[in-house]
Amino acid sequence: MTEREFREREVAWRVFAHEFNSSRVEQRGGTEGTRSYLLSPLGATMNRVLLTGHLLGVEKAGQETPLLRTRLEDPTGQVTLTAGTYNPRALAFLSQPHPPLEVSVIGKTHLFVSDRGQQYLSVRAETFAPLDPAEVPRRHLETSEHTLRRLTLVGALEKTPIPSREELQAEGFPTAWVDGVLEARRSYPALDLEPYRRMVGSVLAKLDSG
């Protein structure tokens, strides 16, 4: 995939709940109608995300317009999901009764900041796909691999001398990843990578034991 295709298609980033919930920086477009991005500590510039896990209970969240809210749980935590009239496929899916279910979901990131400065993260679901339980470990392995590669990229910036942007690209990292990590380094200057390494290690250990 070319860099232009990456930006135009807005690939859904594979992330775990822990990384998503650790994200606190929003990058807004300069003009009305342009996309906004949620920047994770590991450099994922997330307009859309792909999450996999256990779908929890659904509740109504809107009074005048249809709006449903649920949560998705993966091995690292939970993410709040919403679906409304602008997300007809996701709204239709959540409107149907479901038993406890394993799913993958693609949606757009949303960061709401209250008048008191409190931040609330959620994902506006676009599509849900029920998964066979046997498929879930493979999806979690894919997310682990993506996370580990971005951890490697972040860790490369701790070397002395710091690799240049061109050197990182030459090692095979997509330009969008390099740009995201460089921005994350500025936005999260005191980042401790160990919790993220332990997070992935814990997921992989569970997959091995399963």
Domain interval for residue 96: 3-209
Instruction: Identify the bridge partners of residue 104 per DSSP, sorted by sequence position.
Output: 52, 129
Beta bridge partners of 39: 25, 45
- SS3 call for 31: coil
Structural domains in the chain (count)? 1
Is the whole model's pTM more than 0.85, yes or no?
Answer: yes
**Integer angstrom CA distances of residue 38 from 64, 101, 207, 210:** 28, 27, 28, 33
For residue 83, give Cα distances in angstroms to 68, 69, 98.
Answer: 5, 7, 16
**Over the stretch 56-114, which tens digit does the pLDDT of each residue have?**
989 998 776 789 999 999 999 999 999 999 999 999 999 998 877 999 999 999 999 88
Whether the Cβ atoms of residue 13 and residue 49 lie closer than 8 Å to each other: yes
- Convert the pLDDT of each residue in 147-203 to its tens digit: 999 999 999 988 878 888 899 999 899 999 999 999 999 999 989 999 999 999 999
CATH number for the domain spanning 159: value is 2.40.50.140
Distance CA 93, CA 114 (A): 29
